[in-house]
A = this chain, B = another copy of it.
Amino acid sequence: MTERKVTFMTAINEAMAQSMRKDESVILIGTDVAGGAEVDHLVQDDGRYDDAFGGVFGLSKGLVTEFGRRRVIDTPIAEHGYFSAAVGAAATGLRPIAELMFNDFVGFALDPILNQGAKMRYMFGGKAKIPLTVRTVHGAGAGAAAQHSQTLYGLFGAIPGVKVVVPSNPYDAKGLMLAAIEDDNLVVFSEDKMLYGIKGDVPEDYYTIEIGKANVVREGSDLTIVAIGKMVQVAQEVAERLNPDGVEVEVIDLRTIAPWDQETVIESVKKTGRLIVIDESNPHNNTATDIASVVADKAFDYLDGPIKTVCAPNTPVPFAANLEKAYIPDANKVLHVADEIIEDLKKSHTM
Protein backbone atom coordinates (compact mmCIF):
# COMPACT_ATOMS: atom_id res chain seq x y z
CA MET A 1 0.00 0.00 0.00
CA THR A 2 1.39 3.38 -0.96
CA GLU A 3 1.52 6.00 1.73
CA ARG A 4 -0.82 8.85 1.38
CA LYS A 5 -0.94 11.80 3.74
CA VAL A 6 -4.25 13.57 4.16
CA THR A 7 -5.63 15.91 6.77
CA PHE A 8 -7.93 14.98 9.60
CA MET A 9 -10.72 16.88 7.82
CA THR A 10 -10.16 15.09 4.54
CA ALA A 11 -10.12 11.75 6.31
CA ILE A 12 -13.56 12.40 7.74
CA ASN A 13 -14.87 13.76 4.47
CA GLU A 14 -13.61 10.67 2.71
CA ALA A 15 -15.24 8.38 5.25
CA MET A 16 -18.58 10.08 4.78
CA ALA A 17 -18.26 9.92 1.00
CA GLN A 18 -17.32 6.25 1.02
CA SER A 19 -20.18 5.29 3.27
CA MET A 20 -22.62 7.32 1.18
CA ARG A 21 -21.43 5.53 -1.93
CA LYS A 22 -21.81 2.17 -0.26
CA ASP A 23 -25.18 2.70 1.35
CA GLU A 24 -28.03 4.72 -0.15
CA SER A 25 -29.60 5.18 3.27
CA VAL A 26 -26.74 7.31 4.57
CA ILE A 27 -27.55 11.02 4.50
CA LEU A 28 -25.82 14.08 5.90
CA ILE A 29 -27.93 16.75 7.57
CA GLY A 30 -26.92 20.00 9.24
CA THR A 31 -26.68 23.75 8.96
CA ASP A 32 -24.64 24.74 5.92
CA VAL A 33 -23.25 21.25 5.40
CA ALA A 34 -23.58 22.28 1.76
CA GLY A 35 -24.64 25.92 1.94
CA GLY A 36 -26.13 28.03 -0.78
CA ALA A 37 -29.40 26.12 -1.11
CA GLU A 38 -31.54 27.59 -3.88
CA VAL A 39 -28.78 29.89 -5.07
CA ASP A 40 -29.01 29.51 -8.83
CA HIS A 41 -25.45 30.18 -9.78
CA LEU A 42 -24.27 27.35 -7.57
CA VAL A 43 -25.98 24.84 -9.86
CA GLN A 44 -23.30 23.78 -12.33
CA ASP A 45 -23.78 23.12 -16.02
CA ASP A 46 -24.11 19.39 -15.44
CA GLY A 47 -26.93 20.06 -12.95
CA ARG A 48 -24.79 19.25 -9.95
CA TYR A 49 -24.40 21.58 -7.01
CA ASP A 50 -21.45 23.55 -5.89
CA ASP A 51 -21.39 24.10 -2.14
CA ALA A 52 -21.15 27.58 -0.70
CA PHE A 53 -19.77 26.40 2.62
CA GLY A 54 -19.44 22.62 2.70
CA GLY A 55 -19.70 22.87 6.45
CA VAL A 56 -18.56 25.85 8.42
CA PHE A 57 -15.02 24.40 8.43
CA GLY A 58 -15.30 23.18 4.82
CA LEU A 59 -15.15 19.61 6.07
CA SER A 60 -18.06 18.31 4.02
CA LYS A 61 -17.03 20.08 0.82
CA GLY A 62 -17.88 18.20 -2.33
CA LEU A 63 -20.46 15.91 -0.81
CA VAL A 64 -23.42 17.84 -2.17
CA THR A 65 -21.81 17.81 -5.58
CA GLU A 66 -21.53 14.04 -5.56
CA PHE A 67 -24.67 13.09 -3.65
CA GLY A 68 -27.06 15.92 -4.35
CA ARG A 69 -29.35 17.89 -2.11
CA ARG A 70 -31.60 14.92 -1.47
CA ARG A 71 -28.85 13.31 0.63
CA VAL A 72 -26.85 16.33 1.76
CA ILE A 73 -29.45 18.42 3.48
CA ASP A 74 -29.00 22.00 4.59
CA THR A 75 -31.21 22.86 7.51
CA PRO A 76 -32.61 26.02 9.00
CA ILE A 77 -30.80 27.03 12.19
CA ALA A 78 -32.99 24.80 14.29
CA GLU A 79 -30.91 22.20 16.06
CA HIS A 80 -33.73 20.58 17.93
CA GLY A 81 -35.74 20.26 14.77
CA TYR A 82 -33.18 18.57 12.61
CA PHE A 83 -31.69 16.46 15.39
CA SER A 84 -35.06 15.04 16.27
CA ALA A 85 -35.72 14.57 12.57
CA ALA A 86 -32.45 12.66 12.38
CA VAL A 87 -33.58 10.41 15.23
CA GLY A 88 -36.96 9.89 13.58
CA ALA A 89 -35.26 9.11 10.29
CA ALA A 90 -32.86 6.69 11.97
CA ALA A 91 -35.75 4.86 13.63
CA THR A 92 -37.48 4.38 10.28
CA GLY A 93 -34.78 3.27 7.89
CA LEU A 94 -32.20 5.96 7.18
CA ARG A 95 -28.70 6.07 8.56
CA PRO A 96 -28.21 9.80 9.10
CA ILE A 97 -25.08 11.71 9.93
CA ALA A 98 -26.26 14.83 11.74
CA GLU A 99 -23.83 17.65 12.31
CA LEU A 100 -23.90 19.75 15.45
CA MET A 101 -21.69 22.56 14.19
CA PHE A 102 -20.14 23.18 17.61
CA ASN A 103 -20.74 20.89 20.56
CA ASP A 104 -21.49 24.03 22.53
CA PHE A 105 -24.92 24.16 20.82
CA VAL A 106 -25.90 20.97 22.62
CA GLY A 107 -28.40 22.96 24.66
CA PHE A 108 -30.61 23.05 21.58
CA ALA A 109 -30.02 19.48 20.48
CA LEU A 110 -29.90 17.55 23.72
CA ASP A 111 -33.41 16.23 24.06
CA PRO A 112 -33.40 14.20 20.84
CA ILE A 113 -30.17 12.59 22.02
CA LEU A 114 -30.82 12.23 25.76
CA ASN A 115 -34.49 11.33 25.82
CA GLN A 116 -35.27 10.00 22.36
CA GLY A 117 -32.36 8.53 20.44
CA ALA A 118 -30.54 7.06 23.42
CA LYS A 119 -33.62 5.59 25.09
CA MET A 120 -36.01 4.42 22.39
CA ARG A 121 -34.54 0.97 22.05
CA TYR A 122 -34.62 0.40 25.80
CA MET A 123 -38.06 1.86 26.39
CA PHE A 124 -39.47 -0.12 23.48
CA GLY A 125 -38.07 -3.40 24.80
CA GLY A 126 -35.41 -3.75 22.13
CA LYS A 127 -37.68 -3.05 19.19
CA ALA A 128 -35.91 -0.02 17.73
CA LYS A 129 -32.57 0.66 16.11
CA ILE A 130 -31.15 4.16 15.96
CA PRO A 131 -28.23 4.09 13.51
CA LEU A 132 -27.45 7.76 13.90
CA THR A 133 -24.02 9.37 13.84
CA VAL A 134 -23.76 12.77 15.48
CA ARG A 135 -20.74 14.65 14.21
CA THR A 136 -19.67 17.51 16.39
CA VAL A 137 -16.72 19.72 17.17
CA HIS A 138 -15.08 20.46 20.51
CA GLY A 139 -11.98 22.03 21.94
CA ALA A 140 -10.23 25.26 22.75
CA GLY A 141 -7.29 26.83 20.99
CA ALA A 142 -8.93 28.66 18.10
CA GLY A 143 -9.80 31.81 20.00
CA ALA A 144 -13.44 31.02 19.58
CA ALA A 145 -14.30 31.93 23.19
CA ALA A 146 -16.67 30.57 25.78
CA GLN A 147 -19.55 29.42 23.58
CA HIS A 148 -17.57 27.85 20.72
CA SER A 149 -14.66 26.13 22.46
CA GLN A 150 -16.04 23.79 25.08
CA THR A 151 -15.16 20.14 25.39
CA LEU A 152 -18.42 18.39 26.11
CA TYR A 153 -18.00 14.79 24.99
CA GLY A 154 -18.13 13.83 28.65
CA LEU A 155 -21.72 15.02 28.82
CA PHE A 156 -22.67 12.68 25.97
CA GLY A 157 -20.58 9.92 27.50
CA ALA A 158 -22.66 10.02 30.66
CA ILE A 159 -25.81 9.06 28.78
CA PRO A 160 -26.67 5.35 28.70
CA GLY A 161 -27.34 4.29 25.14
CA VAL A 162 -24.85 6.66 23.54
CA LYS A 163 -21.44 5.70 22.23
CA VAL A 164 -18.85 8.45 22.03
CA VAL A 165 -15.79 8.42 19.83
CA VAL A 166 -12.97 11.00 19.98
CA PRO A 167 -10.33 10.45 17.30
CA SER A 168 -6.82 11.78 17.71
CA ASN A 169 -5.41 11.48 14.19
CA PRO A 170 -6.48 11.21 10.55
CA TYR A 171 -6.15 7.44 10.33
CA ASP A 172 -8.37 6.88 13.33
CA ALA A 173 -10.78 9.56 12.26
CA LYS A 174 -11.55 7.78 9.02
CA GLY A 175 -11.77 4.30 10.48
CA LEU A 176 -13.82 5.37 13.46
CA MET A 177 -16.17 7.45 11.32
CA LEU A 178 -16.84 4.49 9.08
CA ALA A 179 -17.43 2.33 12.15
CA ALA A 180 -19.76 4.95 13.62
CA ILE A 181 -21.86 5.09 10.48
CA GLU A 182 -22.01 1.30 10.31
CA ASP A 183 -23.05 1.09 13.96
CA ASP A 184 -26.73 0.51 14.59
CA ASN A 185 -26.68 2.86 17.57
CA LEU A 186 -26.40 6.51 18.34
CA VAL A 187 -22.72 7.37 18.12
CA VAL A 188 -21.40 10.82 18.91
CA PHE A 189 -18.26 11.50 16.89
CA SER A 190 -16.52 14.45 18.50
CA GLU A 191 -13.79 16.21 16.54
CA ASP A 192 -11.24 18.56 18.03
CA LYS A 193 -11.15 21.56 15.73
CA MET A 194 -7.44 22.02 16.43
CA LEU A 195 -6.74 18.68 14.75
CA TYR A 196 -8.47 19.55 11.49
CA GLY A 197 -5.28 20.60 9.75
CA ILE A 198 -2.96 17.84 10.88
CA LYS A 199 -1.88 15.31 8.29
CA GLY A 200 -1.28 11.62 8.58
CA ASP A 201 -1.22 8.36 6.64
CA VAL A 202 -4.68 7.36 5.60
CA PRO A 203 -5.35 4.38 3.35
CA GLU A 204 -7.69 5.07 0.47
CA ASP A 205 -9.61 1.87 1.13
CA TYR A 206 -12.67 1.52 3.24
CA TYR A 207 -11.68 0.31 6.72
CA THR A 208 -13.18 0.47 10.17
CA ILE A 209 -11.70 0.73 13.63
CA GLU A 210 -13.54 -1.02 16.41
CA ILE A 211 -15.54 1.30 18.63
CA GLY A 212 -14.75 0.71 22.29
CA LYS A 213 -11.11 -0.30 21.84
CA ALA A 214 -8.27 1.90 23.01
CA ASN A 215 -4.97 2.10 21.18
CA VAL A 216 -1.65 1.71 22.96
CA VAL A 217 0.36 4.19 20.95
CA ARG A 218 3.53 3.83 22.95
CA GLU A 219 4.57 1.07 25.28
CA GLY A 220 6.24 1.70 28.56
CA SER A 221 6.64 0.09 31.94
CA ASP A 222 6.80 2.97 34.43
CA LEU A 223 3.78 5.15 33.96
CA THR A 224 0.51 4.94 32.08
CA ILE A 225 -0.86 8.08 30.47
CA VAL A 226 -4.37 7.81 29.11
CA ALA A 227 -5.23 10.65 26.77
CA ILE A 228 -8.20 11.70 24.69
CA GLY A 229 -8.18 13.27 21.23
CA LYS A 230 -5.80 16.18 20.89
CA MET A 231 -4.36 15.35 24.32
CA VAL A 232 -2.66 12.28 22.86
CA GLN A 233 -0.08 14.65 21.39
CA VAL A 234 0.49 16.09 24.85
CA ALA A 235 0.93 12.61 26.27
CA GLN A 236 3.45 11.77 23.55
CA GLU A 237 5.40 14.90 24.29
CA VAL A 238 5.46 14.08 27.99
CA ALA A 239 6.70 10.60 27.15
CA GLU A 240 9.46 12.01 24.97
CA ARG A 241 10.52 14.47 27.60
CA LEU A 242 10.72 11.83 30.32
CA ASN A 243 12.59 9.40 28.16
CA PRO A 244 16.06 10.85 28.74
CA ASP A 245 15.53 10.29 32.46
CA GLY A 246 14.85 6.66 31.80
CA VAL A 247 11.15 6.92 32.58
CA GLU A 248 9.24 4.66 30.22
CA VAL A 249 5.77 5.99 29.60
CA GLU A 250 2.95 3.92 28.16
CA VAL A 251 0.59 6.16 26.19
CA ILE A 252 -2.96 5.01 25.62
CA ASP A 253 -5.12 6.80 23.08
CA LEU A 254 -8.58 6.13 24.42
CA ARG A 255 -10.28 6.59 21.01
CA THR A 256 -13.71 5.77 22.43
CA ILE A 257 -14.78 7.43 25.65
CA ALA A 258 -18.10 5.61 25.93
CA PRO A 259 -17.87 2.75 26.42
CA TRP A 260 -14.18 3.11 27.17
CA ASP A 261 -11.75 0.24 27.12
CA GLN A 262 -11.38 -0.69 30.77
CA GLU A 263 -9.43 -3.81 29.98
CA THR A 264 -6.61 -2.07 28.14
CA VAL A 265 -6.31 0.69 30.72
CA ILE A 266 -6.38 -1.65 33.69
CA GLU A 267 -3.88 -4.03 32.14
CA SER A 268 -1.54 -1.13 31.58
CA VAL A 269 -1.89 0.19 35.11
CA LYS A 270 -1.30 -3.28 36.48
CA LYS A 271 1.98 -3.20 34.61
CA THR A 272 3.07 0.36 35.41
CA GLY A 273 1.42 1.05 38.75
CA ARG A 274 1.00 4.70 37.85
CA LEU A 275 -1.72 6.59 36.04
CA ILE A 276 -2.19 10.05 34.61
CA VAL A 277 -5.28 10.89 32.57
CA ILE A 278 -5.31 13.93 30.29
CA ASP A 279 -8.68 15.30 29.22
CA GLU A 280 -9.40 18.83 28.01
CA SER A 281 -12.84 18.78 29.63
CA ASN A 282 -13.58 20.93 32.62
CA PRO A 283 -12.41 18.99 35.63
CA HIS A 284 -15.59 17.67 37.20
CA ASN A 285 -17.66 14.65 36.27
CA ASN A 286 -15.72 13.92 33.13
CA THR A 287 -14.03 11.00 31.44
CA ALA A 288 -10.81 11.54 33.36
CA THR A 289 -12.60 11.22 36.68
CA ASP A 290 -14.42 8.18 35.36
CA ILE A 291 -11.19 6.45 34.46
CA ALA A 292 -9.56 7.42 37.74
CA SER A 293 -12.54 6.09 39.63
CA VAL A 294 -12.58 2.74 37.87
CA VAL A 295 -8.84 2.30 38.28
CA ALA A 296 -8.96 3.31 41.94
CA ASP A 297 -11.42 0.49 42.36
CA LYS A 298 -10.36 -2.31 40.06
CA ALA A 299 -6.59 -1.82 39.99
CA PHE A 300 -6.12 -0.37 43.43
CA ASP A 301 -3.78 -3.09 44.59
CA TYR A 302 -1.45 -2.40 41.69
CA LEU A 303 -1.16 1.33 42.20
CA ASP A 304 2.16 2.68 43.40
CA GLY A 305 1.05 6.27 43.75
CA PRO A 306 -1.80 8.73 43.39
CA ILE A 307 -3.82 8.92 40.21
CA LYS A 308 -3.48 12.28 38.52
CA THR A 309 -6.01 13.84 36.22
CA VAL A 310 -4.94 16.79 34.11
CA CYS A 311 -7.89 18.74 32.81
CA ALA A 312 -8.89 22.26 31.89
CA PRO A 313 -9.62 24.44 34.92
CA ASN A 314 -13.15 24.82 36.22
CA THR A 315 -13.80 27.96 34.18
CA PRO A 316 -15.40 28.82 30.86
CA VAL A 317 -12.94 29.03 27.98
CA PRO A 318 -11.42 32.51 28.01
CA PHE A 319 -10.92 34.49 24.83
CA ALA A 320 -7.57 36.22 25.26
CA ALA A 321 -4.80 34.26 23.59
CA ASN A 322 -2.62 33.95 26.68
CA LEU A 323 -5.50 32.90 28.90
CA GLU A 324 -6.72 30.37 26.40
CA LYS A 325 -3.25 28.90 26.17
CA ALA A 326 -3.11 28.65 29.95
CA TYR A 327 -6.50 26.97 29.91
CA ILE A 328 -5.53 24.03 27.71
CA PRO A 329 -3.59 21.17 29.31
CA ASP A 330 -0.09 20.90 27.89
CA ALA A 331 3.05 18.92 28.59
CA ASN A 332 4.36 21.41 31.12
CA LYS A 333 1.19 21.19 33.11
CA VAL A 334 1.26 17.43 33.06
CA LEU A 335 4.87 17.41 34.19
CA HIS A 336 4.04 19.88 36.90
CA VAL A 337 1.05 17.96 38.18
CA ALA A 338 2.99 14.75 38.03
CA ASP A 339 6.21 15.99 39.52
CA GLU A 340 5.99 13.85 42.62
CA ILE A 341 5.28 10.75 40.59
CA ILE A 342 8.16 11.56 38.35
CA GLU A 343 10.52 12.23 41.20
CA ASP A 344 9.58 8.87 42.65
CA LEU A 345 10.16 7.19 39.33
CA LYS A 346 13.48 8.88 38.75
CA LYS A 347 14.57 7.85 42.20
CA SER A 348 13.57 4.27 41.63
CA HIS A 349 15.52 4.30 38.37
CA THR A 350 18.66 5.67 39.89
CA MET A 351 18.47 3.17 42.70
**Using a CB–CB distance below 8 Å, which chain A residues touch chain B?**
80, 104-108, 110-115, 118-119, 122-123, 145-147, 154-155, 157-161, 258-259, 281-282, 284-290, 292-298, 300-301, 303, 305-309, 313-316, 318-319
A300 to B307, CA, bound (A): 8
A282 to B259, CA, bound (A): 13
Q: How far is the CB of A321 from chain B (nearest CB, A)?
A: 16
Instruction: Output the nearest chain B residue to A121 by Cβ-Cβ distance.
Output: B316
A158 to B281, CA, bound (A): 9
Contacts of A154 in B (CB 8 A): 158, 285
Contacts of A293 in B (CB 8 A): 288-290, 292-293, 296, 307, 309
A104 to B306, CA, bound (A): 36
12 residue pairs of the A-B complex, CB under 8 angstroms, read A80-B108, A104-B114, A106-B114, A115-B147, A122-B315, A122-B316, A154-B285, A259-B314, A285-B289, A289-B292, A297-B308, A301-B306
Instruction: For the A-B complex with A157-B285, A296-B303 known, give 16 more contacts whose Cβ atoms are closer than 8 Å.
Output: A104-B115, A106-B110, A107-B110, A122-B315, A122-B318, A154-B158, A158-B286, A160-B315, A161-B315, A285-B286, A290-B293, A293-B293, A293-B296, A293-B307, A300-B305, A300-B307
Contacts of A119 in B (CB 8 A): 146-147, 316
Contacts of A115 in B (CB 8 A): 104, 107, 146-147
Instruction: Determine whether the beta carbon of A297 is less than 8 Å from that of B286.
Output: no
Q: How far is the CB of A72 from chain B (nearest CB, A)?
A: 26
Q: Which of A281, A293, A316 has the most CB of B within 10 A?
A: A293
Instruction: Determine whether the beta carbon of B285 is less than 8 Å from that of A292.
Output: no
Pick from B114, B309, B315, B318: contact of A107, CB below 8 A.
B114
Instruction: Output the nearest chain B residue to A277 by Cβ-Cβ distance.
Output: B293
Instruction: Determine whether the beta carbon of B306 is less than 8 Å from that of A297.
Output: yes
Q: How far is the CB of A296 from chain B (nearest CB, A)?
A: 4
Contacts of A319 in B (CB 8 A): 123
Q: Which of A112, A315, A316 has the most CB of B within 10 A?
A: A316
Q: How far is the CB of A329 from chain B (nearest CB, A)?
A: 15
Q: How far is the CB of A10 from chain B (nearest CB, A)?
A: 31
Q: How far is the CB of A5 from chain B (nearest CB, A)?
A: 35
A145 to B123, CA, bound (A): 8
A306 to B287, CA, bound (A): 19
Instruction: Determine whether the beta carbon of A158 is less than 8 Å from that of B157.
Output: no
